[in-house]
Amino acid sequence: MTLNQHPSTFIDTPLQIAVMTADQTHTVSDTDLEDVTELVISVSPNTKYFLLCTLRLTSPAAADIDVTFAAIANTDYAGFQVGTTIKNPVAFGTERMEDTDSAEETIQYYGMFKTGSTGGDLQFQFAQNASNAGNTIIHQGSSILLYTL
């Protein structure tokens, strides 16, 4: 049985994975979005995708965290959400704020998108929501799983 094979049905769905091998710290008191250098996957033109991003992070409670996926040029539709539903999705390129409490936590984001005629890179980005003297850290092991539909 291969990775993508169910005992009764073969699913020919390419899977791409990006996993962080080291922590990435967002500089103190910075509310500008920054690429998470290891959480990027190239995407093909005219293709539908489902993504699952598992984010391990630590951020000061007063700072919280803003997250997004960088907008991909000519994308037909793109949105993501935290939790188990994609109701009222957040558009790629639009920041979503998460409350944080200074302890390490894990948040999962789900999303779907269809690229336009050019493709590009699925790039995860983050920043502090409010300027704070503490660091915001995306931890080793954070990942993106991207399924081609």
**Along the 149 residues of the chain, how does pLDDT read in single tens digits?**
344 444 444 445 689 999 999 999 877 566 788 899 999 999 999 999 999 999 888 877 777 778 888 888 888 878 887 764 455 667 776 767 666 666 788 888 888 899 999 889 999 988 877 776 678 888 999 999 999 99
3-class SS string, 6-44: CCCCECCCCEEEEECCCCEEECCCCCCCEEEEEEEEEEC
Contact 46, 120 (CB under 8 A): no
**Considering the domain 15-148, what is its CATH architecture?**
Sandwich (2.60)
pTM of the entire predicted model: 0.77
Which residues lie across from 10 on neighbouring strands? Answer: 5
Domain extent listing, the chain: 15-148
Contact 51, 77 (CB under 8 A): no
Residue indicated by tokens 């998108």: 113
